Chain A
């Protein structure tokens, strides 16, 4: 049969499903990067505490650890699977492609994750209850396990942009998919930025230190860590851009919002200034200042960075073979995966979609808007909200008063052919082109309210037609019987 692997569509009208994923992912990045950076910092501080026989350092580890446990471990450990949850509902085939190639890598990460969670409790609760040497060992094991969770996940994140090696398409194989230039550079970049975040979030804990000399020592330690990490990270970001497909750079140049560049530079400069100020004058380091800085990094630094990464992948969502609208858009002989475009070209998207309701399988005058809406939800809504708000709303792309003929020629000439570089190729049969165009016209002029009214009319008309048909059949049967 001609069904392809498409799921129902979830459409969130206010912000759009894509942004729901981005919000959760950004929050998770802050929490998880801080956790990993802090784990390595704890290993260092515990080692120093053991070598120099210092209790104040262990006390700092305990305080920072407790802070992390409540904020980043709770939120981080929940938003981690939370990313699965959100991508499952927003992009099931995107996450499915990753899961089916890298399930064992995730399972391996999970082993380290278990060690990490048990470890953080031990680090916090065993200060003063075990000797310093044991605490150091626990911390070092915890630090490496935490680092391992990060390096494992980066291979999967890189694959989302591009498989590690080009051979993956022909030969398949986990190693080819996981490791590549992009993987290693991204790893370096994230390690650097995770130390930046550790230094910023750590400031919240340093702010609460009463002893002025110790506060100064810790502010300097974190300040240097932050400055070096930020500079290295910024340098590696430039290098990272050389490792992405040229298509991604093109998208970045053309599609990223204007605020992206300036905001990244402002955040970098602000972060460096923050570290220098707190090093020179530790007394300025109060909890509100440090907390505010963490929020600045989250909102002005991580958000554009995560949005950029998501935008640059377009039209793909995973491995350069799954389109952002969930259709498989190219052959991958190494995984015995076939492009789904030929099937759709043959039978149309309505016939190929397993969840098309029976009454929409064929476009008629009585279901055109519903069918058009179904196609728009399937093909467009991952990247364009059909509502007034949300992610890149559809209505912004068409001039007011556009004619049906012009809309059809746009859909036929641009969408079904894949003529826009960062948009998927979206095959449709002729009746579907007409239905989608009619829907887009209505959505453009009257918005969702007009669409819903039209759908109600269509349903009424369809019911009426059905009743008429039944009546006619009945008359025919009666006449036949007579």
Chain B
């Protein structure tokens, strides 16, 4: 264990690495948004992993139900990758605002992997599309798919990029080892060719959450499709039953892995595992199984739709625990407090973001998702009601006004 002066040196280094430009509003806001967007990101990552796994399993199964489910889940996997990437940009942004010393150091020390991440992810995604284009035109969804290797390759590569990200996040939590990692056998290592830290239990926990989350997806899938005139209830009920099992079994597996993660925390985490946030994460994961057992009985129409929001809330609590672990190591042990970051307040850009997020994002996505939702439930061409049309017109005007304000503010500043 380190003595006080070694800890002080590490703390001093972290403070020195802070960006002198400071942050444009209270750091806690970035932290809050970071947790929220991470929870959304990891939810889509888990859906993507789970639906990919179903696609692969279904492609090897002889059962027509599995084959159909595999084809349907491939569509969800494809969209989930996109959403996971786009939503993942936000936590990536916020973490480097308040934890820049940690994120940047961790990245530079494993730079080859950071660059590899981009290339591997592109190929993982293209491999999924290759599988899709090879089989997407099959009218018969129960036929045996071709090029199954590409879907397996896609999932394997996705797990590799997940592991890289896991490792970079783990390295952030070990500022006491950064200088050691930089100096390998007495010689400075500028290559960035190694991943230096990981915790297999932590990685396995986040991956295993794909099981209950995808279970929730399957339950929702049945609920969404059952209102269509051409719904095959035998198939949909089978998929939902599978989903319920996955929620229950998956949550138990994830809870065990969570416990293993908590038991293997570094010494610098102190007694985090037995603290409120350490315990509540695991309890909430297990709670998902209990919730499914109690609330997803029989038809359970409303609760079918609740399965994914419940998964998101659980994900949010786990994301908060994860953040509290980071805070606990860096603040409690190393006395590095992200809250005392220098603030150079900028009300305009802070306000503009929140207004854009709530009003532009809210109105447009509400319109988009309403259309997507209704079109998915309609056989043939969907023609929206006047109320839905009005939603679109309002969203359009809001967006036009946004662009106008962008130029008005800009030209006003320019001519000053």
Q: In the bound complex, do residue A184 and residue B410 qualify as a contact, i.e. CB atoms below 8 Å apart? A: yes
Contact with B along A118-157 (1 / 0, CB 8 A): 1101100010111101100110110011011001100100
In the complex, B371 has a CB within 8 A of chain A: yes
Q: In the bound complex, do residue B16 and residue A115 qualify as a contact, i.e. CB atoms below 8 Å apart? A: no
Q: In the bound complex, do residue A335 and residue B353 qualify as a contact, i.e. CB atoms below 8 Å apart? A: no
Using Cβ atoms and an 8 Å threshold, which residues of chain A touch B322? none
**Distance of A381 Cα from B108 Cα, bound (Å):** 14
Q: In the bound complex, do residue B104 and residue A144 qualify as a contact, i.e. CB atoms below 8 Å apart? A: no
**Distance of A74 Cα from B126 Cα, bound (Å):** 8
Beta-carbon contacts under 8 Å, A101-127 to B:
101-108, 110-115, 117-119, 121-122, 126
Q: In the bound complex, do residue A99 and residue B114 qualify as a contact, i.e. CB atoms below 8 Å apart? A: no
Using Cβ atoms and an 8 Å threshold, which residues of chain B touch A3? 12-13, 16
In the complex, B88 has a CB within 8 A of chain A: yes
In the complex, A459 has a CB within 8 A of chain B: yes
**Distance of A324 Cα from B86 Cα, bound (Å):** 29
Q: In the bound complex, do residue A78 and residue B85 qualify as a contact, i.e. CB atoms below 8 Å apart? A: yes
Using Cβ atoms and an 8 Å threshold, which residues of chain A touch B63? none
* Nearest opposing residue in chain A for B406, CB measure: A151
**Distance of A84 Cα from B168 Cα, bound (Å):** 15
Q: In the bound complex, do residue A113 and residue B114 qualify as a contact, i.e. CB atoms below 8 Å apart? A: no
Asked whether A126 and B371 contact (CB < 8 A) given A184-B410, A338-B20, the answer is yes
Q: Which of A171-179, A191-199, A204-212, A257-265 contacts B (4 or more CB under 8 A)?
A: A171-179
**Distance of A104 Cα from B349 Cα, bound (Å):** 6
In the complex, A289 has a CB within 8 A of chain B: no
**Distance of A89 Cα from B116 Cα, bound (Å):** 12
Which DSSP category, helix, strand, loop or mixed, fits chain B's interface? helix
Q: What's the nearest-Cβ distance from chain B to residue A66, in Å?
A: 10
Q: In the bound complex, do residue A141 and residue B85 qualify as a contact, i.e. CB atoms below 8 Å apart? A: no
Partner of B186 from the list A24, A117, A147, A459 (CB cut-off 8 Å) is A459
Partner of A5 from the list B16, B85, B89, B381 (CB cut-off 8 Å) is B16
**Distance of A62 Cα from B87 Cα, bound (Å):** 25
Q: In the bound complex, do residue A88 and residue B108 qualify as a contact, i.e. CB atoms below 8 Å apart? A: yes
**Distance of A104 Cα from B12 Cα, bound (Å):** 28
* Nearest opposing residue in chain A for B379, CB measure: A129
Asked whether A110 and B90 contact (CB < 8 A) given A103-B97, A148-B402, the answer is yes
Q: In the bound complex, do residue B392 and residue A8 qualify as a contact, i.e. CB atoms below 8 Å apart? A: no
Using Cβ atoms and an 8 Å threshold, which residues of chain A touch B21? 96-97, 100-101, 332, 335, 337
Using Cβ atoms and an 8 Å threshold, which residues of chain A touch B372? 118, 122, 126
In the complex, B364 has a CB within 8 A of chain A: yes
Using Cβ atoms and an 8 Å threshold, which residues of chain B touch A328? 20
Using Cβ atoms and an 8 Å threshold, which residues of chain A touch B400? 144
Asked whether A141 and B395 contact (CB < 8 A) given A96-B100, A114-B361, A115-B364, the answer is yes
Q: In the bound complex, do residue B96 and residue A7 qualify as a contact, i.e. CB atoms below 8 Å apart? A: no
Contact with B along A282-310 (1 / 0, CB 8 A): 00000000000000000000000000000
Q: In the bound complex, do residue A88 and residue B12 qualify as a contact, i.e. CB atoms below 8 Å apart? A: no
Using Cβ atoms and an 8 Å threshold, which residues of chain B touch A77? 82, 85-86
Q: In the bound complex, do residue B17 and residue A134 qualify as a contact, i.e. CB atoms below 8 Å apart? A: no
**Distance of A181 Cα from B178 Cα, bound (Å):** 43
In the complex, A73 has a CB within 8 A of chain B: yes
Q: What's the nearest-Cβ distance from chain A to residue B10, in Å?
A: 10
Asked whether A92 and B361 contact (CB < 8 A) given A10-B192, A131-B382, A176-B413, the answer is no
In the complex, A164 has a CB within 8 A of chain B: yes
In the complex, B231 has a CB within 8 A of chain A: no
Partner of B368 from the list A12, A118, A359 (CB cut-off 8 Å) is A118
Using Cβ atoms and an 8 Å threshold, which residues of chain A touch B381? 128-131
Beta-carbon contacts under 8 Å, B102-150 to A:
103-105, 107-109, 111-112, 114-115, 117-118, 121-122, 125-126, 129
Q: In the bound complex, do residue A108 and residue B356 qualify as a contact, i.e. CB atoms below 8 Å apart? A: yes
In the complex, B24 has a CB within 8 A of chain A: yes
Partner of A10 from the list B111, B357, B371 (CB cut-off 8 Å) is B111
Using Cβ atoms and an 8 Å threshold, which residues of chain B touch A165? 413-414, 416
Using Cβ atoms and an 8 Å threshold, which residues of chain B touch A110? 86, 89-90, 93
| Interface size grouping (class) on chain B | 35 or more
Q: In the bound complex, do residue B396 and residue A140 qualify as a contact, i.e. CB atoms below 8 Å apart? A: yes
Q: In the bound complex, do residue A108 and residue B89 qualify as a contact, i.e. CB atoms below 8 Å apart? A: no
In the complex, B383 has a CB within 8 A of chain A: yes
Q: Which of A370-378, A394-402, A432-440 contacts B (4 or more CB under 8 A)?
A: A370-378
* Nearest opposing residue in chain B for A321, CB measure: B21
**Distance of A100 Cα from B18 Cα, bound (Å):** 10
Asked whether A121 and B82 contact (CB < 8 A) given A129-B375, A138-B371, A455-B187, the answer is yes
Partner of B121 from the list A78, A118, A155 (CB cut-off 8 Å) is A78
Q: In the bound complex, do residue B396 and residue A138 qualify as a contact, i.e. CB atoms below 8 Å apart? A: no
In the complex, A357 has a CB within 8 A of chain B: yes
* Nearest opposing residue in chain A for B189, CB measure: A8
Q: In the bound complex, do residue B117 and residue A10 qualify as a contact, i.e. CB atoms below 8 Å apart? A: no
Q: In the bound complex, do residue B82 and residue A103 qualify as a contact, i.e. CB atoms below 8 Å apart? A: no
In the complex, B272 has a CB within 8 A of chain A: no
**Distance of A462 Cα from B105 Cα, bound (Å):** 28
Partner of B115 from the list A20, A101, A112, A184 (CB cut-off 8 Å) is A20
Partner of A337 from the list B20, B108, B406 (CB cut-off 8 Å) is B20
Using Cβ atoms and an 8 Å threshold, which residues of chain B touch A374? 188
Q: In the bound complex, do residue A141 and residue B367 qualify as a contact, i.e. CB atoms below 8 Å apart? A: yes
Asked whether A141 and B396 contact (CB < 8 A) given A7-B108, A99-B97, A111-B360, the answer is yes
Partner of B344 from the list A17, A119, A172 (CB cut-off 8 Å) is A172
Contact with A along B384-402 (1 / 0, CB 8 A): 1000010011011001101
Partner of B96 from the list A73, A96, A335, A354 (CB cut-off 8 Å) is A96
Using Cβ atoms and an 8 Å threshold, which residues of chain B touch A7? 17, 104-105, 108
Q: What's the nearest-Cβ distance from chain B to residue A177, in Å?
A: 10
In the complex, A362 has a CB within 8 A of chain B: no
Q: In the bound complex, do residue A101 and residue B24 qualify as a contact, i.e. CB atoms below 8 Å apart? A: yes
Using Cβ atoms and an 8 Å threshold, which residues of chain B touch A115? 360-361, 364-365, 368
Using Cβ atoms and an 8 Å threshold, which residues of chain B touch A78? 85, 118, 121-122, 125
Using Cβ atoms and an 8 Å threshold, which residues of chain A touch B13? 3, 354-355
Contact with B along A382-424 (1 / 0, CB 8 A): 0000000000000000000000000000000000000000000
**Distance of A117 Cα from B81 Cα, bound (Å):** 11
In the complex, A431 has a CB within 8 A of chain B: no
* Nearest opposing residue in chain B for A117, CB measure: B86
In the complex, A70 has a CB within 8 A of chain B: yes
Most buried by A among B13, B21, B410, B413: B21
**Distance of A145 Cα from B364 Cα, bound (Å):** 10
Q: Which residues of A contact B (CB under 8 A)?
A: 1, 3-12, 17, 20, 24, 70, 73-75, 77-82, 84-86, 88-90, 92-93, 95-97, 99-108, 110-115, 117-119, 121-122, 126, 128-131, 133-134, 137-138, 140-141, 144-145, 147-148, 151-152, 155, 164-165, 172-176, 178-181, 183-184, 328, 332, 335-338, 354-355, 357, 359, 370, 373-374, 377, 381, 455, 459
* 22 CB-based A-B contacts, threshold 8 Å: A73-B82, A74-B125, A89-B115, A92-B107, A96-B21, A99-B93, A100-B100, A104-B350, A105-B349, A108-B353, A108-B357, A110-B90, A114-B86, A115-B360, A115-B368, A117-B86, A131-B383, A134-B382, A141-B367, A144-B403, A179-B414, A373-B188
Q: Which 5 A-B pairs have the closest CB atoms?
A: A3-B16, A89-B111, A104-B349, A10-B111, A11-B190
